[in-house]
Amino acid sequence: MTPLLFAPLAITFWVWPVSPVAVVSGFDPPAQVWSAGHRGIDLAATTGQEVRAIGPGSVTFAHSVAGRPVISIRHGALRSTYEPVRALVSPGENVRAGQLLGWVATGGHCADRCLHLGIKSGTDYLNPLLLLSRRPAVLKPNRLRLGGAPARMTSAAALPIHGCIAGWSPSSHGPRAPAQRADPRRPPAREWRPCALNHVERASAHPQPKLGAPPWFAPRVDPFDRLARQ
């Protein structure tokens, strides 16, 4: 596959489309484009809940597909898709990050319980957690057993990912630290890692070669923010 070219994009931060955030189904792309798989993530949501744009862009689609109300927004070279959503916006309308797009509707594979979010670059599906996990909110301390021995911790990747409440999962290594609010403008200390990356590791059998180096923790560089306009 041809590597993507990189150029600056005027997008600094991305936001979650619903709040509170709980991922109920992770990214599981198919081995072949025609195969079954999960080409996005499902976020816990209920019918009537507000859905907001993950970043600034232009609405390209706001109609029904096979009975499912869908909204698509173009953000430079990226496109985000939300379903099922009863649209407040119309095609051609420019939106800002966090702007209300509509409300969770009925229909689709996760009606009445979740919102499906997909991210594409051209014809390639990308893992939305790689984009959205740039802005976690909370640090959680490592748990220690009595006597100082580290407690056995189940990787969030082995769970239905309710642990990714837009927050952090401590590394299995590193010292204990008190819980504190993280500065979203700064990368985490080396002892901590984004909860979402645990799920990325589980999906490591499905690499995304166009992205090159992992988008997290390249100092002062974010491949999503530098993705070329197409």
* Residue 95 near residue 73 (C-beta atoms within 8 A): yes
> On the CB side of 168, how many CA atoms lie within 13 Å of its CA?
27
Please indicate, yes or no, if residue 192 is contained in any of the structural domains: no
pLDDT digits (tens, 9 = 90+) for 71-128: 999 999 999 999 999 999 999 999 999 999 999 998 777 766 889 999 998 888 888 8
Please indicate, yes or no, whether the overall pTM of this predicted structure exceeds 0.95.
Answer: no
Please indicate, yes or no, if residue 88 is contained in any of the structural domains: yes
CA atoms 96, 38, 125, 204: torsion sign = positive
Number of domains in the chain: 1
Please indicate, yes or no, if residue 178 is contained in any of the structural domains: no
Please indicate, yes or no, if residue 62 is contained in any of the structural domains: yes
Q: Answer yes or no: is pLDDT of 6 > 60.
A: no
pLDDT at site 161 = 36
CATH of the domain at 60: 2.70.70.10
Please indicate, yes or no, if residue 189 is contained in any of the structural domains: no
Summarize the confidence of residues 137-148 as an average pLDDT. 38
pLDDT at site 37 = 56
pLDDT at site 102 = 97
Summarize the confidence of residues 129-134 as an average pLDDT. 76
Enclosing domain of residue 107: 23-133
pLDDT at site 150 = 36
Please indicate, yes or no, if residue 44 is contained in any of the structural domains: yes
Please indicate, yes or no, if residue 49 is contained in any of the structural domains: yes
Please indicate, yes or no, if residue 116 is contained in any of the structural domains: yes
